[in-house]
Chains A and B, each alone.
Chain A
Amino acid sequence: MMTETQPFRLATGGLVDRAAPLNFSFDGRAITGFAGDTLASALLANGVRLVGRSFKYHRPRGILSAGVEEPNALVEHRSGSRREPNSRATVLELYDGLVATSQNRWPSLRCDLLSVNSWVSSFIAAGFYYKTFMWPASFWERIYEPMIRRAAGLGRTAPAHDPDTYEKATAFCDVLVIGGGPAGIAAAVAAGRTGARVILCDEDFVLGGGLLGDKADIDGGSGVDWTRTMAGELAAMPEVSVMGRTSVTGVYDGGVFGAVQRVSDHLPEPLPHQPRLRFWRIVARRSILAAGAIERPIAFGNNDRPGVMLAGSVRTYINRYGVAPGRRAVIFANNDGAAGTLDDLAAAGVDVAAVVDSRDGSSAAVSVAAARHGVVMHAGAMVTQAYGGHGLRSVEILTSDRQRERISCDLLAMSGGWNPTIHLTSHLSGRPRWDEAAAAFLPGSLPPGMTVAGAATGNADLNACLASGAATGLAAAHDCGFSGRLPSWRGHGSGDGQCHQPVRPLWRVPGARGKAFIDFQSDVTTDDIDLSVREGFGAAEHAKRYTALGMATDQGKTSNVAALGILAEITGTDIASRGTTTFRPPYTPVAIGALAGHARGMDFHPRRLSPAHPFETEQGAVFVEAGAWLRAQYYPRPGETWLQSAEREVRTVRGGAGICDVSTLGKIDIQGPDARAFIERIYCNNFAGLKPGRARYGLMLREDGFVLDDGVTMCFSDTHFVMSTTTANAPVVMQHMEFHHQCVWPELDVQLTSVTEQWAQFSVAGPLSRELLRRVVDRQHDIANEAFPFMSAAQVTVAGVTARLARVSFSGELAYEIAIPAQYGDSLLRELMRQGEAFGVCLYGTEALAIMRIEKGHVAGGELNGHTTAADLGLGKMMSAKKDYVGRILAQRPALRDPERPTLVGLLPLDHGSQVRAGAHLVASGRAANLENDEGYVTSSAFSPMLGRWIALGLLASGNNRTGEIVRACDPLRGTESLVEICSPQFYDPTGERLHG
């Protein structure tokens, strides 16, 4: 019957492609499976039953299930930088060359030294870590934690950067169907036939759900044939998309769903230009949850031995994969599904030793099946214990007349009933309700627009699934304005009857011996639940946290409900009053990469480049991130350090001329009859008197009275102004102004437009800057000192192109800023450099810019930090007393006017060679360097080429009155300290002669 290379593969049957063998390896052993296998089915086909070790006790574990709920068969998938721990073998689609490794064992899977944990397990029950490793506290980080981390674990993450790419996408539909089993297919077909836009998401790689695992018959044909026919019909519908390998993982407000599409996980590596995963945001007007149900294990002694499996999964391995999961089986169930399991096992040629039905009375369906197959039937009996180390060898049963009996077997197919897969119904805080008749949690209040179909409703019979699918599909389409006829199909399957009422839950076997596991992945046993209740953690949420039940990567898919049932039993309450733990997204684990999409590394946010970026790159610029921009930081010549480069750039500017790209400064075009009135309310200083052709420095406060930003505003006419902002604050300032325009003063007739990216802008600075500009700006414009004095602004032309020129200075030199439409930016900079050659001009970057502004005591990011007032920065006199403006009232608060507030000061290290770093704290001389004596801190520092020493700006308590005082600048983080003298922040050209030159 069995083939030679795959001893447990059935000779016929299953949906695998026997003509397509696939080679893979598990723990280094070369094995062969078939296309259509999962890793789990291929391992079982080859008789590999031991696949992993448990989290805490290192117990040998096999394969429990055939789906996403798998708690045991977790492996490391792939190797090297693509290694992914905790991959569920049961859903891992086999491909040629797949490499999988068992995890959490040392030195090998069969001989795991830490399985000694199992022998000392009575000492490491739930709560053990909390109690044992309490003290001494200093042992935690150095001894306890590393030790526990080595012992416990769920695989290793990849050692290097993930080489794959990830995508995000958005889709819209009328009806989203979640689940590709009979109910989901019926719903999608019913809705699709009306012409509605339908998306069907199925987490599996073959459509069909339960129809693949059970023997099914629909309208006289097989369930698989029906699935193929329907899939063909769906594929032909232009408004329907069937998304396979796609798990809907979360429900969000407004009909938004999150879904992960595994684009390349079934391939050795992604195809060129293909992502590994694609995260979908699906917007749906209606949704149908047809996610099926997950079978319940039963807690009896050693129920975690490899070979103990869920009954429905046993049917799936037989029917879908053509694999016999064992040679001699015992069936243990509390429901009529046992009949179908028996039929399928018998049909596969597996010897069934006994059927153990926990129910007291004999079940007609199961008894009839047992009699038909000549199998011993034990009604009212229980399996109490499993035997066998690395694989099941026998089970002990307790018969209805209290006899203990050993039955040898290598497979136990167990079924404690089914839990409808209703996780998604509670993502928007809907509470599942306990249904006594169904003995299951059923959907409670649903997310708006969602209906539930199929086994997720609590009835898994094929006919019911087809009918509820068709009805909900048509109803959902109807809600979206489509109409059609209700399709009708008739079917029955080998899973029928397993949810038939009444089902009495069987959470745990009374009198079980040995460890009876509830949560296999977290290694939580029934004894742990008992302990939890004894120690006062009997509420569901407490027990969960005390035992870690349901907190592993499977999120308790096979354990949460059982734990609630056992808690109810122990405390003598009913399960409905125990409540339920809350299901939260994601339903199944989502790789962080899928959530990040392209936003990784330098693509974390969009990168903005100056129009002159190409030329600056040619000139050897080193770039730095500034807000969302890349800005030229310095332009090193061969052999220069950044500091040497910046120093040279400063000397060139101050000695002749230099050019800096300031395109990144925010630029806001303000137009309208009320433009001036609006600016007056936004800036704290006076703009009423600003005449056309002039520019003015403006200071902007937040409504709470602290400084928001500063910049120069040019006036071109009474109804047209252009404001500049700092690079980093440009978006914030724009939003601030839009808020005040639209929400606070909508009556003002003014328009605001961000033109930051529309204009390239260059600062031309230095004593020779005017001569240089004369060669670039068209001749008809008079920019002589008298005609175009400091703070002039004008529209000019450059080679006939409209440009804007302002005589403003951040460096303290005679300086101009020239702006030109962005598409000419690169050309203008090239032309300025060409014309400047005669003047020895250089490009300078943000480092030189920062040095020069610190030499001049101009504030920037370090000082405009959201904690400073205008007065703190020495700009208090700018605040107008004659008008209302944003921040005026709250700037009057006593704490903001406190004379002892830290204010801007200059700092000079007494030792000229010693560097004071930004972040160092200022402490009065002779005082200890502690928080209590902290009087302020250094905000910016630079080596001044002009002064030949380090200089700094800082904020110091009562700083205005302390000129000449020596204080300590302490930097305990970097372990440095120096004595600094308080001085005026204007280090260079304090009278400002140079900018009028």
Chain B
Amino acid sequence: MRIHCPYCGERGVEEYSYRGDATVRRPDANGPDALERFVEYLHLRDNPAGSHQEFWQHLHGCRAWLVVQRDVRTHAIESVIAASRRVAR
């Protein structure tokens, strides 16, 4: 698999490290149901047959964390952006 790093260009998957679901956001630690929300944040994942938004890090490159939109059925990568450039919630 090849991933197009927004900073370094297209590189082989062996330069990257996979983390997982990028749709989850760290909950408010002061919220009333914080414990439950953190359990969901850490452990509960949807696994649709289709497009996933995933965190990958260009570990052996610029070390940028990326949000990769990837179809897990075909491994086709639809888009890659730097995680830090994501629009804040």
Contact = CB atoms under 8 A, between A and B. Distances in A.
Interface of A: 170, 252-256, 281, 283, 448, 703-704, 735, 738-739, 741-744, 746-747, 884, 888-890, 892-893
A256 B2 contact: yes
Contact of B42 (A253, A255, A704): A704
A256 B39 contact: no
Interface string B3-22: 00000000011000101001
Interface in B14-41: 17, 19, 22, 26, 29-30, 34-35, 38-39, 41
A607 B77 CA distance: 34
A254 B57 CA distance: 18
A703 B35 CA distance: 12
B84 A888 contact: no
A739 B42 contact: no
Interface of B: 1-2, 12-13, 17, 19, 22, 26, 29-30, 34-35, 38-39, 41-42, 55, 57, 59, 63-65, 75-77, 82-86, 88
A452 to B, nearest CB: 19
Given A890-B39, A892-B35, 5 more contacts: A170-B12, A254-B1, A739-B57, A746-B83, A890-B38
Top 5 closest A-B pairs, CB basis? A254-B2, A746-B84, A253-B1, A742-B65, A253-B75
Contacts of B1: 252-254, 256
Nearest to B31: A889
Given A739-B57, A743-B65, A889-B38, A884 B12 contact: no
A283 B2 CA distance: 9
B19 A703 contact: no
B70 to A, nearest CB: 10
Nearest to B3: A254
A532 to B, nearest CB: 32
A681 to B, nearest CB: 10
B41 to A, nearest CB: 8
A975 to B, nearest CB: 41
A176 to B, nearest CB: 14
B34 A743 contact: no
Nearest to B88: A747
Contacts of A704: 42
A742 B83 contact: yes
A934 to B, nearest CB: 27
Given A738-B63, A893-B35, A743 B42 contact: no
Contacts, number: 66
Nearest to B85: A746
Contacts of B38: 703, 889-890
B55 A739 contact: yes
Contacts of B41: 703
A599 to B, nearest CB: 12
Nearest to B25: A744
Contact of A256 (B12, B57, B64, B82): B12
Contact of A742 (B17, B34, B84): B84
Contact of B12 (A283, A703, A738, A889): A283
A391 B14 CA distance: 52
Nearest to B26: A744
A892 to B, nearest CB: 6
Contact of A735 (B17, B35, B86): B17
A890 B63 CA distance: 28
A433 to B, nearest CB: 19
Residue among A254, A281, A741 with most chain B CB within 10 A:
A254
A678 to B, nearest CB: 13
Given A253-B75, A744-B26, A735 B39 contact: no
19 contacts: A170-B12, A254-B75, A254-B77, A256-B1, A281-B12, A283-B2, A739-B55, A739-B65, A742-B82, A743-B55, A743-B65, A743-B83, A746-B83, A747-B88, A888-B29, A889-B29, A889-B34, A890-B35, A892-B35
Contacts of B26: 703, 744
Nearest to A892: B35
A255 B41 CA distance: 35
Contacts of A893: 35, 39
Contacts of A283: 2, 12
Contacts of A448: 76
A502 B30 CA distance: 76
Contacts of A884: 29-30
Contacts of B75: 253-254
Nearest to A894: B35
B30 A739 contact: no
Contacts of B19: 739
Given A254-B1, A739-B55, A890 B64 contact: no
B34 to A, nearest CB: 5
Nearest to B2: A254
A255 B59 CA distance: 22
A957 B64 CA distance: 42
A256 B11 CA distance: 11
Nearest to B55: A743
Contacts of A741: 84
Contacts of B84: 741-743, 746
Contacts of A888: 29
B77 to A, nearest CB: 8
A892 B26 CA distance: 16
Nearest to A704: B42
Contacts of A743: 22, 55, 65, 83-84
Contacts of B34: 889
A741 B65 CA distance: 9
A170 B14 CA distance: 12
Nearest to B14: A281
Given A170-B12, A884-B29, A890 B42 contact: yes
Contacts of A890: 35, 38-39, 42
A746 B83 CA distance: 8
A739 B85 CA distance: 13
Nearest to B22: A743
A252 B13 CA distance: 11
B42 A703 contact: yes
A884 B30 CA distance: 8
A888 B28 CA distance: 12
Residue among B29, B41, B59 with most chain A CB within 10 A:
B29
Contacts of A170: 12
A883 to B, nearest CB: 9
A386 B63 CA distance: 66
A150 B47 CA distance: 47
A746 B81 CA distance: 14
B57 A735 contact: yes
Nearest to B65: A742
Contacts of B65: 738-739, 742-743
A235 to B, nearest CB: 29
Contacts of B13: 253-254
B3 to A, nearest CB: 8
A890 B87 CA distance: 27
